Amino acid sequence: MRQGADPGDGGHKPALRAISPGLHFVSTPIGAARDITLRALDVLAGADVLVAEDTRTLRHLMEIHGIPLNGRPVIAYHDHSGEGQMQRLVGLLAEGKSLAYASEAGTPLISDPGFELARAVAAAGLPMTAAPGPCAAICALTLSGLPSDRFLFAGFPPSAQGARRSFLEELAGVQATLILYESPKRLGALLSDMASTLGANRQVVVCRELTKRFEEVLRGTVATLVADVETREIKGEIVVLVDRAAPAEATEESIGAALDAALQSMSVKDAATFVSQTLGVSRKIVYRIALDRSQG
C-alpha cells in the first residue's frame, strides 16, 4: 500500500482486548495513513490471526499506528492462494479464532482479493464482519460532481483494445454514473476508446492520487480529456468516472410501447406512474395515452 507521508497515532489507543470469533474484513488507507478507522485499529490489535494480501504492507501499517504483533501469526492470502490456504483459514475460524483480513489498500473485495474467502465463510455459516473505511471508487464519486443516486462500479477495463471496446459498448447505455479503475499508462487509450463507443461529448472525471499529496480532479468531456492527456503525462493511481448517457427522447410511439408492456402486469394508474418515471415524461401525458390504450 502506498502509505502517504502522514503517519501518526491519531491519539487513539487501540483496544488490546480480544475481538469476537470470526472473519473481520478491515479497510485500510488508499494514501493518507491517518484514514485508518479506530475500529480497524481495534480489530488489528485484537485479532488472534492477521491475514493480508501483502503481509509486509500490513506489518508496515500496524507499525505506523503502533500496534504490536505480540507473536501473532501473519498469513498471506489472496484469491489465487489456492483451495488449501482457504480451507486453512476456514478451519481456524471453525476452531473459534478471530481473523483480521486486509488487502493491499482500501476495501477488500473491491478490485482486490477477499471474495472467495467471503463466499466460503458465508457457505460454512461462520461469523463475519467488516470494518468499513477508505475506498477509491467511493472517494472519487464523492468528489466527481456527477450524479450519485445510481452508480455502477465496473472495476478495471480489459487491457486489450478489442475487449475494452466491447466492455465500453456494453456500458454505453447504462443509466448510472460509471466508475472505473485504470492504470495511468492506459488512460489515453481508454479515453480514445470512450470517444468511439460512448461519444466524444460524454462528461468524464479523472481523479488521481486521492488522499495523497498530488491529489487532482480533472473534469471535461471525453474529447477535452483526450486532448489534456495528449499534452501532459498523468501519473499515479486513478479512478475514471463517466456520466450517464442522456436519455433517449421519448415519442408517443415509445411511450405507447412501454405502456403496453407495463399494462400486462399493472393497473393503468401504476403503469402511468412507472412509465413516466422510467422515461422522464410528465405523468399527465403518459396517463392520457394509457387511458386511450386501455379503452381502445
Binding site for ligand SAM (CB under 6 A): 30-31, 103, 105-107, 110-112, 135-137, 181-182, 207-212, 237-239
Q: Which is nearer to ligand SAM, 10 or 132 (CB)?
A: 132
Q: Which is nearer to ligand SAM, 22 or 236 (CB)?
A: 236
Other C-beta atoms within 10 Å of 45: how many?
22
Distance of alpha carbon 131 from alpha carbon 112, whole angstroms: 16
Q: Which is nearer to ligand SAM, 30 or 271 (CB)?
A: 30
According to DSSP, the β-strands at 216-221 and 203-208 are antiparallel
Q: Which is nearer to ligand SAM, 26 or 290 (CB)?
A: 26
Beta strands in 87-150 (DSSP E): 98-102, 128-131
> Please, are residues 28 and 110 in contact by the beta-carbon 8 Å criterion?
no
* Shortest Cβ 236–ligand SAM spacing (Å): 7
131 vs 25, 137, 187, CA distance in Å? Answer: 6, 17, 32
**DSSP 8-state code for residue 113:** S
Q: Which is nearer to ligand SAM, 43 or 136 (CB)?
A: 136
CA neighbor of 124 nearest in space, from 89, 96, 94 = 94
